[in-house]
Structures are given as C-alpha cells and as structure tokens.
Structure 1
Amino acid sequence: MICYPNAKINIGLNVVEKRPDGYHNLETIFYPIPLCDALEAVHSVDGKAPYTFSNTGIEVDAIAEDNICIKALNLINKKYDLPPIQIHLHKQIPFGAGLGGGSADGAFMLNLLNKEFQLNIPQDELQTLAVQLGADCAFFINNKPAFATGIGDQLHAIDLDLTGYYLALIKPPIHVSTPEAYGGVVPKPSIDSLKEIIKLPIEQWKHHIKNDFEKSVFANHPEIGKIKMDLYDAGAVYASMSGSGSSVFGFFKEKPELNMNESHYTWVQKL
C-alpha cells in the first residue's frame, strides 16, 4: 500500500508561554499543502525480519531505527502483532524547513498500517500515538486546516479554503536550529485570537498575522528575511516564514514570476 505524506505551512505562529516542562505553548494555523513524499509498506517477501527500510529522493541521514516511520511502526507493534514489513520512503519534502515533512511521514505511517492491516484503530487513538512521535504529528492524522494550541497537539478544526491561490515556497540552504529559534523569542500571551483573525480577507493578513520567530531569525539570517520581501515584491498577497524556518511561503492570485537564487529550493503550485 502506498500513500503520499504532504507538507504543511504555519499561517501565523504565536509563542504564548514557556511551560514547566521546558516546552512552549503556541498558537498557530496548520494548513496542508500538496508537496508530498511517497511512503510504501507491504508484506515482506522473505518474512525473516520485523521490517526492512529503504529510501530514495532526498537522503535520510539517520539509521533506520531512528527514522520516524520505524518509530511509528514500533508504536503500533507494541499492541498489534504485525507481520514482517518492507518499507520504502521517497523523500521530496525538504528537511529543516518548518514544513513538517518528518511529522507527516510518521503520522501517515500510522494511518497506512491501520488501513493496510485492518487494525480499526479509532482516530483519537491514532492522534494520541502520533503525539508520541512529535508535537505536530497529530495534525497529519486528520490532515485538515486546524487552529493548534498547546505544543501544537491540541487541534481545533477551522473553515479555511485557499483553493485557487498560487502558493510559492522558497527554502534557502540555511539551517535554523530549534534552540536558536526559541532563544530569540520572548513568550507573551496573544492579544487577539488567531482563530478569529484568520477569518479576515487574505489581503489583510499581513497587517494582523505574525510569526514570532521571524524577528530573531531574520536578524541572524538576513537572507531569509529578504526572501519574504522578494515574495511581496513579486505580488504576494501574504507571505511568511513557516514554523521556525527556514522556508518562506507566499500566496499569489496569479502565477508569480520568481527569480530566486539557484541554491534555493523553489516550489510553486496552484492550490
């Protein structure tokens, strides 16, 4: 069985407080986008091993045991006795981009195993398992636009449809570590609810919706901030960094003409 784990973008991201456990409570809008990996899981031919794992596309620089797809398999195997499985991941979603590519792979693996082996695991239980893989993994179980709070694991469905807009996504060859991103943010409660602001016309978003990571990340990496300005100069009605970076996206009413650096990953598609 094959599935296509998709990426997400963050439309707005407020860091509202630091938790006693060292994590941070957030407010953000998760929106799924059609930039996808491909993930396949089938019964093992030789049946001699719990699993085999292979990877094409963007190289996954980790041993199989550390891959989130295998971690998802192991979570399921704790309760359900699965047969030996062959797993193949074709990776197209860039790493370290704030796009949730790894989280999507893990969550889609849970869904794939549930369907392929007819485990009949309820969606709420799948979401609980997904949170054990990563904070935003639960979003990809339902995979629909959501207002997220907590560490990104508390999801509230929203009515948001951006069909018809062109989405441009640019990722420079820059890595922004999680400690660096959070080190430049001073948490503070939101004055206005992002869940309500998102109802404004998209042309007004740039005046009301912000990503708290942008200020310090742009200061440390001016090239990322320049990409956002370049997208506005190209006619974007709204542009923002996704997550803690380093990718930046923009929504356009018409297909944009972009002249980005050849070293940048560039993806444009009509939603």
Structure 2
Amino acid sequence: MSVAVSLLCNVFYMIVFPNCKINLGLHVTNRRADGFHDLETVFYPLSVNDALEVISPGTLQFGSSGIAVPGNAHDNLCLKAFHLLQKDFPTLPRVNIHLHKHIPIGAGLGGGSADAAFMLQLLNNKSQLGLSEAQLIDYAAQLGSDCPFFIANKPCYATGRGEVLEPITLDLSGYSFLLVHPGIHVSTSWAFKQLTPQLPAYALREKIQLPVAAWKGVISNDFEEPVFQAHPVLAGIKEKMYMGGAVYATMSGSGSAVVGIFPKNKIADILWDASYRVFKIR
C-alpha cells in the first residue's frame, strides 16, 4: 500500500502562478569577501504573475511562452530547482515544465526567482518530500538571493544577500499600485559597481513603519541615482507618478520597473509610451 501511494503521488498535473515582488527601500551596506553584497530592503509581494505548469511523469523537458526567456533552456532556474532537489531525493520523478512568462525580465521584480521558488514548493508538495519552510528557504538560497523571499511570500525585512528574512506587519491592501516597465534592461552587476556601500543613518525596519504618506524622501533606493543618471526616462516615469497623485513611488531593485502607490482605486490615467508594459493592481 505504501508503495502504491508513493507512486500515485508522483503522477500529477499542476499549474501555479508565481507572483512578483517590489522593493520598498533598498540599501547596499557592505561588500563581502565572497564577492556578494550585504543589503537591507523590504520585500512586498504583488499580483503580477507568471504561469508555471508541471506534469509528472515526464522526460525533463522545459518550454516557455509569453515573454521570450533569454539564455539556454537547460540553465533555467526551474530546471535548476529540480536538479537541486534531485541531488538529495534521487527518486524524484522527472517532470515536464512549461513556463508562461508574464512578469517583465530584468526589471527588479524577481520573476525568475519566483518561478524557481514556486517550483521547489510544487515538487515538495506533490512528491511529498516533507520539507519544512526553513528547509525550502535553504534550498532557495542556493538558487538566488531573491528566491527565499518567495517561499515566505509575505512582507519581509531582508538582510544579508536578501535571504535573511524577518516577516513584518505591512498591509498595503488599502492602496492601489501602478507598475511601469519601459523595456530597459539594467545589468545588476553594473548597478552594484556604481555604488559605495554604506550603512544608512536609520534602519529601514524602523522607517517602513511610518505612514505611507511619509515615505517620500525618507525611504529610498540606493540604485536610483546611478540608474536614473544612465536612464533618465526612469526618473521621468517616477515624476509622472507623483504628478498623477502617487503617495509614494520608487524603482524596484536595481531596475528598471518603477512602482507607484496610489490611494485605493485612484490610479491616475497617465499616457504612457505604447511600448511600455503597464500593470494596475487595485
């Protein structure tokens, strides 16, 4: 009976919808000996989603649709997530994976990290691996600095490389969000090279507790200055959001998506370039 149950749980079809994140404040505080950087930020989940379809048993194939996914399919983080678990669970059955990409790539929204984290969770649940959230976070940290957040997938104050997570109370359901991506790709490695790490005067953990209307000029993203200098159009997008009534606006991560927080259901009707990808989250 136990063998039959084990085999049955490895036959499945499932589709999940990995969501994106935004950074509310981002400070690069130290360059580490391992070449990475320490930072502090607040991650907040938003409902702009990819669609991840997994079928078992399969032949370990990966396909995609929607936004073109750059690079070799064999290097996709979803496949890397599978191989990472398979090292410790050799009997993990092969699967077929299809990813419909909707979250803009290279935009500071963590879409690839979300896909990988959701893949870990799906395999854990459907193959009954019995991994705890803490164990999944450890696996996720091996795939990328943003990946652990998507295991928790709730507002978190993050330090270290972004993998040290502290859940915080931050409810923005009383606001609407406008997310604009102009199609500009910002190299993360280039962006880090533009910064001189330093500790902020006050920890972001304290500043995020201020009323949202008080965030402007107080909660900042270290990457904005060099990225806006290289791509002035991004500064223009942020300014348009403020002119349109945003209570707070910021670039997410190292860019290039810009997010504005508006009073509930009062997102300004702003005319954007037709090539921009615009998301309204009410």
Shared fold (TM-score greater than 0.5)? yes
Question: Which consecutive segments of 4 or more residues in structure 1 shift more than 4 A?
Answer: none
Q: Once superposed, what is the RMSD of the aligned Cα atoms?
A: 1.0
- Residue 269 of structure 1 and its aligned partner are, at CA, apart by 1.4
Tell me which residue corresponds to 2:54.
41
Tell me which residue corresponds to 2:10.
none
Letter in structure 1 aligned against 2:31: K
Which structure 2 segments of 5+ residues have no match?
1-13
Counterparts of 1:123 and 1:252, CA distance in 2: 33
Tell me which residue corresponds to 1:172.
182
Counterparts of 1:118 and 1:256, CA distance in 2: 46
Tell me which residue corresponds to 2:25.
12
Tell me which residue corresponds to 1:146.
156
Letter in structure 2 aligned against 1:62: G
- Is 1:215 the counterpart of 2:225 in the alignment? yes
> 3-state DSSP class of the match of 2:35?
coil
Matches within 5 A, 1:1-271: 1-44=14-57, 47=58, 49=59, 51-80=60-89, 81-253=91-263, 254-270=266-282
> 3-state DSSP class of the match of 1:224?
helix
Counterparts of 2:270 and 2:280, CA distance in 1: 9
Counterparts of 1:89 and 1:62, CA distance in 2: 14
Counterparts of 2:94 and 2:202, CA distance in 1: 50
Counterparts of 1:33 and 1:102, CA distance in 2: 14
Letter in structure 2 aligned against 1:6: N
Counterparts of 1:233 and 1:113, CA distance in 2: 45
Letter in structure 2 aligned against 1:177: S
TM-score (norm 2): 0.92
Letter in structure 2 aligned against 1:69: C
- Residue 261 of structure 1 and its aligned partner are, at CA, apart by 0.9
Letter in structure 2 aligned against 1:19: R
Counterparts of 1:131 and 1:217, CA distance in 2: 26
Counterparts of 1:79 and 1:87, CA distance in 2: 20
Counterparts of 1:258 and 1:97, CA distance in 2: 20
Q: Aligned pair count?
A: 266
1:70-111 CA-to-partner distances (Å, cap 9, x unmatched) read 000001111111122111111100001000000000000000
Identity %: 50
- Residue 39 of structure 1 and its aligned partner are, at CA, apart by 0.6
Letter in structure 2 aligned against 1:258: I
> 3-state DSSP class of the match of 1:94?
coil
